[in-house]
A and B are shown apart, each in its own frame.
Chain A
Amino acid sequence: MSWMESLIDFVRKYKLLVALLVLGPPLIYLAVYFFAPFIITILYSFGFIGRRGVITWELTIKYYQQALRWVYLKVFYNSVILAAITTVGSILMAYPVAYFIAVKAPKKWKNLLVVSVMVPYWVDFLLRTYALMNIFTMMKMMFTYEAVVIGMIYDYLPFMVLPLYANLEKLDKSLLEASYTLGASPFKTFLKVTLPLSKPGIASGTILVFVPAIGEFVVPSMLGGVSVTTIGTLTWDLFLKFHNWWRGAALSILYIAVVLITLIIYMRKVGELEI
């Protein structure tokens, strides 16, 4: 066992080197294939990189000015509205369900009910949105705003149910009983006890739904066709149809800025994100 002894010796002696050997590979991988691409995107957005990837040594804000033109701001506004409708719609659908699973459902059903929400959570939106196309085609609802809204809520619903359930599951039920005993009606108990205590769950769900919904591409594109334009469909068109990478990069950096600001506000106010 001499090789093992020398290995252990090594582990004890060079702690920092071991840390480097363990954490190095994953961090280097992410640096190259996740963070470097974002730096490249920033460089494109300022025109520092030109056609065929040639470095121009120029810095210009003209692509940001283009991305902030009125037509694009309107698309941004529409995307935020659609994301807000999606968020409110999914809270309204998810809250009673999460509450039912966490507080009311018979114990033997609980796992099945949670698992049934987790399964669609992990299936890509493309497949689930395609599933809706059958129904909307039968109902002659394809390419309408309503179809897009229903599709958005359909796809994002599990992202709202799960954090709400995780939160309500931790709710101390004796608080509800205390409230009843002291004479509060169920409605008042909900307003004064349950709802305030579940705010972190609502906040987590809102982040998980609202932020990606602003940039959603699959749903508006498949169910809305050309009738609904969002930041997601615009980004797709700028990159894969018109090959206007510079403007697309500026637009994407603006979107990421909005995402990060939202997250920072959230972290300050609520604390950690539960996924």
Chain B
Amino acid sequence: MSMSLRDKLMGLYSAFVYAFLYVPIIIVIIFSFNESRTLGQFTGFSLKWYQVLLGDKVVWVAFYNSLNVAVITTLVSLFLGTLAAYGMVRLDIGGKGAIDSLLYVPIIIPEIAEALSLLLFYKFSGYDLGWLTVLLGHIAFDISFVYVVVRARLAGFDRSLEEASLTLGANEVQTFLKITLPLSMPGIIAAALIAFTLSFDDFIKTAFTTGPGFQTLPLIIWSQSARGGVGPELNALTTVIMAISMTIAYIYAKLTMEKQ
């Protein structure tokens, strides 16, 4: 079947939209390798801005902080979100509709509203702002995403497999370890990837809940790009963070597409 003119036009339009999505990202990458500082003129390939980054202690500390928060957030929210998903899909209890709505709220409430409420809560409860307050906020947000992804997987697979296992003489614990857990693994891995990216490049919640002396990579981009300050060092830093986030998002997307 060959495409009609109208279909070709639609394909062309789609190509234009994809270009719109990706050209700005490609430009950042290109100019992060630019030798000169002037924007818009590529004078030659150079790695010197990456060398500047490698020698910048502030960047290394921020990188460590981002990674530290993202890894702990992923582990804790994975544990709590999976518990919630398992409980909601498999346990026979009342009030599920209400609990489900509660678990969805963090996804629906705009981030800035959540961020400032956390700040007020920390101030009221006497927390010192810094690593812990950033971490606790990231986890609260990520639990819901883990819940949604893992629940979809748990609800999606054939329950008769578990019943068969029980009928054949395996007990509940064996069935959980040998059937339920392995079958929900793709969902758990996908949820881990999402939890990591959401935390690793988060800006707004981090900005509201951090204190003096605790900086993550997005906060560096924010403070240096304020009032229009674009530059090759910042392009290099953005390229690094985006490369990490986009690679993980790509693996996640691949995983979720495969199950269809």
Q: How far is the CB of B197 from chain A (nearest CB, A)?
A: 5
**A40 engages B21 (CB within 8 Å):** no
**B257 engages A115 (CB within 8 Å):** yes
Q: For chain B residues 225-246, which have a beta carbon within 8 Å of chain A?
A: 225-228, 230, 234-235, 238, 241-242, 245-246
A56-64, A65-73, A197-205, A231-239 - interface stretch? A231-239
Contacts of B174 in A (CB 8 A): 4
Q: Which listed residue, B6, B20, B113, B218, touches A124 by the CB 8 Å rule? A: B218
- Is residue B121 within 8 Å, beta carbon to beta carbon, of the partner chain? yes
B48-56, B137-145, B154-162 - interface stretch? B137-145
Q: Which listed residue, A26, A101, A157, touches B21 by the CB 8 Å rule? A: A157
Contacts of A25 in B (CB 8 A): 80, 83
Residues of A in contact with B, size category: 35 or more
- Is residue A47 within 8 Å, beta carbon to beta carbon, of the partner chain? no
Q: Which listed residue, A94, A118, A130, A211, touches B110 by the CB 8 Å rule? A: A211
**B173 engages A4 (CB within 8 Å):** yes
Beyond A132-B24, A134-B27, A256-B109, whether A15 also contacts B173 by CB under 8 A is no
Contacts of A157 in B (CB 8 A): 17, 20-21
CA distance A57 to B131 in the complex (A): 32
**A123 engages B84 (CB within 8 Å):** no
- Is residue B164 within 8 Å, beta carbon to beta carbon, of the partner chain? no
Contacts of A242 in B (CB 8 A): none
- Is residue B67 within 8 Å, beta carbon to beta carbon, of the partner chain? no
Interface centre among A11, A35, A134, A137 (most CB of B within 10 A): A134
Q: Which listed residue, A94, A111, A131, touches B257 by the CB 8 Å rule? A: A111
- Is residue B147 within 8 Å, beta carbon to beta carbon, of the partner chain? yes
**B197 engages A126 (CB within 8 Å):** no
**A40 engages B121 (CB within 8 Å):** yes
Beyond A124-B201, A154-B20, whether A37 also contacts B117 by CB under 8 A is yes
Q: For chain A residues 102-128, which have a beta carbon within 8 Å of chain B?
A: 104-105, 111, 113-128
Residues of B in contact with A, size category: 35 or more
**A116 engages B117 (CB within 8 Å):** no
Contacts of B113 in A (CB 8 A): 215, 235, 252, 255-256, 259
Q: How far is the CB of A166 from chain B (nearest CB, A)?
A: 11
Contacts of B7 in A (CB 8 A): 104
**A19 engages B201 (CB within 8 Å):** no
**A240 engages B208 (CB within 8 Å):** yes
- Is residue A133 within 8 Å, beta carbon to beta carbon, of the partner chain? yes
Contacts of B108 in A (CB 8 A): 211, 259, 263, 273
Q: Which listed residue, A30, A38, A214, touches B103 by the CB 8 Å rule? A: A30
> A23-B93, A130-B234, A239-B116 given. 16 additional CB < 8 A pairs?
A11-B172, A34-B114, A37-B114, A37-B117, A37-B118, A53-B123, A53-B125, A97-B17, A116-B22, A121-B249, A122-B197, A126-B221, A127-B241, A215-B113, A235-B112, A252-B117
Closest 8 CB pairs of A and B: A37-B121, A37-B117, A122-B249, A22-B87, A118-B253, A124-B201, A26-B84, A33-B140
27 contacts across the A-B interface (CB closer than 8 A): A4-B173, A7-B173, A11-B172, A22-B91, A23-B84, A26-B81, A26-B84, A26-B147, A34-B114, A36-B121, A37-B117, A37-B120, A53-B124, A96-B17, A104-B3, A117-B21, A120-B246, A125-B203, A126-B218, A126-B222, A127-B238, A130-B230, A143-B228, A239-B119, A252-B116, A252-B117, A273-B108
